[in-house]
Amino acid sequence: MSYSGHILPPCRWQYCAIQPALPLWKQIIEEDHRRFIIPSNMASRKSSSKRQANKDKYSVLLPTYNERENLPLIVWLLVKYFGESGYDYEIIVIDDGSPDGTLQVAQQLQGIYGAHRVLLRPREKKLGLGTAYIHGIKHATGNFIIIMDADLSHHPKFIPEFIQKQKEGGFDVVSGTRYSGNGGVYGWDLRRKLISRGANFLTQVLLRPGASDLTGSFRLYKKEVLEQLVDRCVSKGYVFQMEMIVRARQLGYSIGEVPISFVDRVYGESKLGGNEIVSFLKGLLTLFATT
Amino acid sequence: MTKLLEWLLGVSVVVTAWGLLTFDLLDLKVPQVYREVVWPMPVYLLVVFGCYSIATVGYRVATFNDCEEAAQELQAQIKEAKLDLKKKGLKF
Ligand SMILES: Nc1nc2c(ncn2[C@@H]2O[C@H](COP(=O)(O)OP(=O)(O)O)[C@@H](O)[C@H]2O)c(=O)[nH]1
Ligand SMILES: [Mg+2]
């Protein structure tokens, strides 16, 4: 990875104010590099052995696209629950050039909670969820990674439970599940429940994946495990989530589960949708034939 | 082995067993009564599996938890968060 911020003369930043401004996402990348990446890399090299010895750190990846209303709330909740449980953490916001100004809101949040808690790793345009995770992982400094949606359908209150579960069983992956125990959903009509349960049953029969919720995307991974999995996964959309779990099993990783309640998004709209059923079936059959 | 191959293997084992018995391909002198029972077996199995599937999915749909409380809790927290964030200077 090459950052041009390095080699440019320092006076460049004075020009910026006069010249037509760089797009915000680019400003943030360059500025962040100058201010934070270099010092934090140096700092972590010195203290990493100490940190690994006695302290785990959790990097939460929040991919966002038009989530200006949800982002402050999810960050607030994350800060609340991490604060109460006392684990070390960072929140990495990966915004794909949302036209609604999500990134400006994220900047404000960074101002409020500090640049070591809220990291901005924006990209120029909408490049999809899968690559957003890859992009986020590259910048994560934690030894565990938590993946969740930013639309409040995944509640941060479950994260301490995920962490507890992981510690209990030494799991490589801990997956939230809507389908077992006290897990469940809110705001779903009968049709949606039927489709969801039917699709899940079919998946269980065909793939026997050893996990009850394959399409959910609220999960905790050991960082190196996630890197391995992401390398191997080829699907797009939320078939990606299915593939991650199936491949995890294939590679012999252990999977723990925590029941979660999934509350439909209150603000904004879903970006997937469309031909969800068709793409689900295609993905399922592909996995069926190839794994 | 892929899941597809596992399935093909399973299905071919069943089909072979069924063929051997129904048509007595190995000349085992399988009594007529047995052959009459085995002959429609695949259809029975399919029907049973279909019923099992429908019953299971139906039961799971009916018992799918509605997280009313979680939704209410979230609403309350959203209010609290908005107030607090405003205090901290966030402009929505
Ligand atoms: N960075 C990025 N985030 C995305 C993209 N598509 C969706 N998201 C985010 O991914 C999460 C899940 O998306 P959502 O539309 O809620 O999908 P659904 O829950 O399956 O309906 C949300 O936080 C979105 O803002 C994308 O292309 N890039
Ligand atoms: Mg969603």
Full 3-state SS string of chain A: CCCCCCCCCCCHHHHHHHCCCCCHHHHHHHHHHHHHHHHHHHHHHHHHHHHHHHCCEEEEEEEECCCCCHHHHHHHHHHHHHHHHCCEEEEEEEEECCCCCHHHHHHHHHHHHCCCCEEECCECCCCCHHHHHHHHHHHCCCCEEEECCCCCCCCHHHHHHHHHHHHHHCCCEEEEECCCCCCEEECCCHHHHHHHHHHHHHHHHHHCCCCCCCCCCCEEEEHHHHHHHHHHCCCCCCHHHHHHHHHHHHCCCCEEEEECEEECCCCCCCCCCCCHHHHHHHHHHHHHHHC
The pLDDT tens digits for A71-92 are: 999 999 999 999 999 999 999 9
Is there a domain that residue A3 lies in? Answer: no
A93-97, A226-230, A263-267, B29-33, range with the lowest pLDDT = B29-33
Q: What interface predicted TM-score (ipTM) does this complex get?
A: 0.91
Query: Model-level pTM?
Result: 0.86
Is there a domain that residue A230 lies in? Answer: yes
Residues across chain B: 92
Closest residue in A to B63 (Cα–Cα) = A184
Tens place of pLDDT per residue across chain B (92 aa): 899 999 999 999 999 999 998 888 888 888 888 888 889 999 999 999 999 999 999 999 999 999 999 999 999 999 999 999 999 999 87
| Residue ranges making up the domain that contains A162 | 21-290
By most ligand atoms within 8 Å of CB, the mutation choice from A149, A152, A280 for ligand 1 is A149
Q: How far is CA A130 from CA A176, A244, B15, in A?
A: 18, 11, 42
Q: Give the bridge partners for B89, in sequence order.
A: none
Q: What average pLDDT does chain A have?
A: 86
**What is the predicted pLDDT for the residue at A51?**
43
**Residue B27 distance to chain A (closest CA, Å):** 36
Dist. CA A150 → ligand 2 center (Å): 8
Is there a domain that residue A12 lies in? Answer: no
**Residue A89 distance to chain B (closest CA, Å):** 20
**B70: chain A residues, CB-CB within 8 Å:** 155, 184, 186, 261, 263
Q: How many domains does chain A have?
A: 1
- Does the pLDDT value for residue A204 go beyond 80? yes
3 state SS of B13: helix
Is there a domain that residue A151 lies in? Answer: yes
Closest ligand, as measured to the CA of A270: 1
Are residues A72 and B81 in contact, defined by beta-carbon separation less than 8 angstroms?
A: yes
User: How far is residue A72's CA from residue A68's CA, in Å, rounded to a whole number?
Assistant: 7
Is there a domain that residue A13 lies in? Answer: no
Structure tokens at A68: 């200006």
User: Which residue, judged by its Cα, is nearest atom 11 of ligand 1?
Assistant: A149
Mean pLDDT of A154-177: 98
**Rounded to the nearest 5 degrees, what angle is found at the Cα of A211, between the Cα atoms of A206 and A216?**
100
Domain CATH number, residue A236: 3.90.550.10
Is there a domain that residue A10 lies in? Answer: no
Are residues A236 and A271 in contact, defined by beta-carbon separation less than 8 angstroms?
A: no
By most ligand atoms within 8 Å of CB, the mutation choice from A25, A65, A123 for ligand 1 is A65
- Cβ contact A152–B74 (<8 Å): yes
Is there a domain that residue A4 lies in? Answer: no
